[in-house]
Amino acid sequence: MASKLSTSFVCWNLSGFNCVNRSNGNGRIVRVSFPASCKMRNRSTFSLQNKRQQIKPSTEVGLRQNQVEEEDSVVSFNNDDSVDKTKETTAPSAININGAEQAEQLSSEQLEDFLGMIRKAEKNILLLNQARVRALKDLEKILVEKDALRGEINVLEIRLAETDAQIKLATEEKVHVELLEQQLEKLRNELVEKGSTEAVYEESRDLQNGDLRDAHPLSNKGISHALSKEFNSLRTENASLKNAIESFKTQFSIVKNNDGRLVALENERSSLESALKDLESKLCSQEDASKLSTLTVECKDLWGKVENLQSLLDKATKQADQAFIVLQQNQDLRRKVDKLETSLEEANIYKLSSEKLQNYNELMKQKIKLLEDRLQKSDQELNSYVQLYQNSVKEFQDTLDTLNLKEESKGRTAEEPVEDMSWEFWSKLLLLIDGWALEKKISVDDASLLREKVRRRERRICETFLAYEEESEHEAVSAFLGLLSSATSPGLHVIHITAEMAPVAKVGGLADVVTGLGKALQKKGHLVEIVLPKYDCMQYDRVCNLRALDVLIESHFDGQLYKNKIWVGTVEGLPVYFIEPLHPDKFFWRGEYYGEHDDFKRFSFFSRAALDFLLQTGKKPDIIHCHDWQTAFIAPLYWEIFVNKGLNSARICFTCHNFEYQGTAAASELDSCGLVSKSLNRSDRMQDNSAPHKVNSVKGGIVFSNIVTTVSPTYAQEVRTKEGGHGLDSTLSSHFRKFIGILNGIDTDAWNPASDVFLPVQYNAADLQGKVENKQALRRRLGLSSADVTRPLVGCITRLVPQKGVHLIRHAIYLTLELGGQFVLLGSSPVPSIQKEFESIANKFKNHDHVRLILKYDEPLSHEIYAASDMFIIPSIFEPCGLTQMISMRYGAIPIVRKTGGLNDSVFDVDDDTIPSQFQNGFTFANADEQGLKGALVRALNLYKNNPESWKQLVQKDMNIDFSWGTSAAQYEKLYSMSVARARAAKRA
């Protein structure tokens, strides 16, 4: 042959497999079949995955399965033309078949095994897809070799042209041979006619043996026979070449149109170069052709198996769908049965309770009679205290009457209060006097008298300060000492010792209570001071006139003395003393308020240092008010240590804002602050009720304080139960006479829609147009739809912790959307799992028209959400007081709350006929479940949509409710006064 085919290959274009020739390095050509475009549909996989998430069997089948290794079907050629087949993976097929058979008789007991088989089928599908991915990864390498392969194809085309020319030449020779054969036939016919058959036969035989004679015309017969033989050989060879070239052209056309298959072909080009040389000699072999056809049949069989697997998987998927529907129906029936059983149990309970009701009523009558007797005794005791107090007042009045009224009238003008100076001015003046006392520039007694003048806001001390503000300190001290008089004040001196204060060091509601209550008492004429740790992370820009005093206060801790630096400044017009411990552990330089491993030690140190500060400054407060477990140490420290040192003028008030946090530690840790653990680790003192080897600081606050309060009346009742008391219910019951719940208030200056600087538009109850404009402004800011201005907006601002009912908040998001409303959530969670869950929800609704979640705290944004919301969700599991519902009503957002704690004391259902209409201000539900929340939310949305005028009247009524600290401060003032009066009466007795 003029040219040989140097490159040849075969590729089957099956819809399920791509076949690629590989060289195994030993001269053997290996054809690897891998899934190039698997028809296992993503729909089936996605459907099965969804069902696996929805169906949660009690046990997990096959929790630890052996890793399934990928097995490719391989067919190889060796030099002896033998066919070697590897094992085919039959496990997926068996699993699918078993899954299909078992799915026909699926029951609840077999569901777990069926799910396991489906998982295995999914893994097999995944392996097929992974094989396809690995094949596609070779694309980059093949693209580099693509041009080289195309060059070789061009060479083959040139060779094809040469072969065509040879075929043309061979055709011409064939025509010449045919002419010779015709001439030979004519000669034969002539010989027959002449009767010389024998001679011709012998001569023809000689020609067949190759004996050609040039002289005789019959010699052309031998030439013709040789040419015919050569032509047949050439024709066979050319036909084979032509078929191979046509096959190559077909594959090349497929490669051009499908780069994906070209990837698989070009990946093995280097292997083909060596292998094709061997195939050239075998290509024309009939045996090879039969082997190739055998391989084609085998590939078709493999594809048929894949199609069978696909049909089985589809069938199993359909049966799984049917099984899932049946399971859902069974679950619905189970829920209905459970509800019926619950109703039956309730009916039985009601039947039993009705039988016991009469006995219970008799018992209650006896208890009421006993309570009446106790109340009568208490009234008698209280009347005796009041009588003693009235007598003391009368004695004081008689003393005043004996004074020289003329001299009193002369000094009245100088001592009358000044009303036009800010509270910050008087606090600054008070801190100046205390600084002089600490620095020993005036005596303790003189400082006490000057503080009284400041508390009364006398005009003379105001004018003196203004006159000597620019003078030297020595002249100012002299001028102030000249103002001293013997007049006393009827007001109270109250010192709050606390771990938080808004807005400089705020974590929760405690900070708002300290600032709000302090300002309210200050307005009532009482002297109020705050003692606070100096945190490194507090908001220093919110402290006015912050400065350090040139004095160090020593405090006893861990058997030695430590120095403390004292800073002073005003916050919201209140005088504040910041204690900075010079301790090597840097207690309050951690970048955090709470959450440190040594919190018990940090705050017991602070409590001891605060009392040392009061002692060494000579302060004589009437009330020392401590808050939560962090400063509950104050009560036992005061009565066990400091009363004996001379700090004995005060009564102790302890407020617990949340009984869930109690400050427990090993009893030995109590010794660090100077308390004796052996004497205090007793059941009637500080021993923890649940762990006898530990002490409980909250219990110590309850036992050693004269007044114990919490932040709402309902919460005061709840904590006296086992469920709500967190182990302290028995202690609270033992000290019930001094325990009371007082509902917190809010700072109505900071939370006022008519003057709120954070709002785009201010508004009030008389003009609600500004609320509509704020709603539109918030929608624009958060990217919510504004197409329907009347669509209700539900707000929620909270810490995402279990106490706040996070499962109900999550349900409220979807329920609000279902009912045609919009939902905005602002808040974050310290619990990683909860934070991650709500981040997932936030991403889901990232671009939604009606839902937005902002998982952080943003003070300005919180004001905007209150002003824009039509209603507010507060589904707390328990809530000591709660300020959110008060603030939302202040801004005209109707609260939807669970009846617990302070929520029960401040929100009353509009549909509750037992509540007077003037107090109905929101929507409530009792049970902490989705049904309770849904009922309240549906009622609220129905009123909003169906009766706009009634909704407007409800909004205006809520905005006019007084939730200021005035009422709460009056209750605290009464408690303070009664406790101080008892103490003074006891001293006189």
pLDDT in tens, 137-171: 766 677 767 777 777 777 777 877 777 777 777 77
The pLDDT tens digits for 821-830 are: 999 999 999 8
Yes or no: say if 267 and 31 are a contact pair by the CB < 8 Å rule. no
C-beta of residue 481 within 8 angstroms of C-beta of residue 442: yes
| Average confidence (pLDDT) over 357-381 | 68
Residue range 205-216: average pLDDT? Answer: 45
User: What is d(CA 360, CA 167) in angstroms, rounded to the nearest whole number?
Assistant: 119
Residue 291 pLDDT: 55
Checking if the pLDDT of 682 tops 80, the result is: yes
Q: Which pTM was predicted? A: 0.56
Q: Quote the tokens at residue 543.
A: 């402290």
Among 363-372, 473-482, 594-603, 856-865, the minimum mean pLDDT is found in 363-372
For residues 92 and 652, which has the higher predicted lDDT (pLDDT)? 652
Average pLDDT, the chain: 78
What is the total residue count of the chain?
A: 989
The whole-number pLDDT of residue 189 equals 76
Neighbours of 79 (CB within 10 A): 11
In this prediction, residues 761-783 reach a mean pLDDT of 95
- Assign 367 a pLDDT band (cuts: 50, 70, 90): low
**pLDDT greater at residue 120 or residue 979:** 979
Q: Which residue has the higher pLDDT, 947 or 282?
A: 947
When pLDDT is averaged across residues 193-219 and rounded to a whole number, the result is 47
Contact (CB, 8 A) for 11 and 265: yes
Note the pLDDT of residue 628. 96
Maximum distance among all Cα pairs of the chain, rounded to whole angstroms:
187
Q: Flag the least confident range among 86-100, 622-636, 736-750.
A: 86-100
Can you tell me the mean pLDDT for 946-968?
95
Which comes out higher in pLDDT, residue 362 or 86?
362
In this model, does residue 135 exceed pLDDT 80? no
Task: For CATH 1.10.287, list the domain ranges present in the chain.
Answer: 122-187+253-279+302-400
Which of 176-180, 245-249, 484-488 shows the lowest per-residue confidence on average (mean pLDDT)?
484-488
Segment among 333-337, 448-452, 865-869 with least mean pLDDT: 333-337
Ranges 49-53, 459-463, 892-896: which has the least confidence: 49-53
Contact 173, 227 (CB under 8 A): yes
Contacts of 246 by beta carbon, 8 Å cutoff, 6+ apart: none
Of 655 and 347, the structure prediction assigns the larger pLDDT to: 655
Report which of residues 830 and 19 the model is more confident about: 830
Stretch 511-517: mean pLDDT: 93
Q: Please name the residue that has the structure tokens 């399934």.
A: 68
Higher pLDDT pick, 630 / 429: 630
pLDDT digits (tens, 9 = 90+) for 912-929: 999 999 999 999 999 999
Is the pLDDT assigned to residue 526 strictly greater than 80? Answer: yes
Q: Is 719 within 8 Å of 729 (Cβ atoms)?
A: yes
**Mean predicted confidence (pLDDT) in 518-545:** 95
Question: What is the arithmetic mean of pLDDT over 238-242?
Answer: 69
Q: Mean pLDDT: which of 227-236, 273-282, 404-413 is highest?
A: 227-236
8-state DSSP, 640: I
pLDDT at 860 over 60: yes
More confident residue, 480 or 665: 665
Going by pLDDT thresholds of 50, 70 and 90, the confidence category of residue 760 is very high
Minimum mean pLDDT among 88-97, 234-243, 382-391, 847-856: which range? 88-97
Pick the CATH number of 122-187+253-279+302-400 from 1.10.287, 1.25.40, 1.20.120, 1.10.10: 1.10.287
Band (211; pLDDT cuts 50, 70, 90): very low
Kindly report the backbone phi and psi dihedral angles of residue 28, in degrees, each rounded to the nearest multiple of 5, phi listed first: -100, 135
451's tokens: 């503080």
**Average pLDDT of 650-677?**
95
Beta bridge partners of 707: 653
Q: Select the CATH number that applies to the domain covering 494-741 from these four: 3.40.50.150, 2.60.40.10, 3.40.50.2000, 3.90.76.10.
A: 3.40.50.2000
Among 143-157, 212-226, 899-913, the least confident range: 212-226
Calpha distance 891→958 (Å, rounded): 8
pLDDT-based confidence at residue 946 (cuts at 50, 70, 90): very high
Percentage of the chain beyond pLDDT 70 is: 68
- The band of 131, judged by pLDDT with boundaries at 50, 70 and 90, is confident
pLDDT at position 32 is: 40
pLDDT, average across residues 174-202: 66
CATH 3.40.50.2000 domain span(s) along the chain: 494-741, 768-963
CA distance 87 to 206: 61
Cα–Cα distance measured from residue 194 to residue 206, given in angstroms and rounded to the nearest whole number: 21
pLDDT at 227: 58
Mean pLDDT in residue range 937-959: 96
pLDDT above 60: residue 531: yes
pLDDT at position 617 over 70: yes
In this prediction, residue 981 carries a pLDDT of: 82
Measured between alpha carbons, how far is residue 257 from residues 9, 122, 261 in Å? Answer: 18, 32, 9
Region 768-963: CATH code: 3.40.50.2000
Given this model, what pLDDT does residue 137 score? Answer: 74
Give the pLDDT confidence score for residue 134 in this predicted structure: 75
Q: Is the pLDDT of residue 320 over 70?
A: no
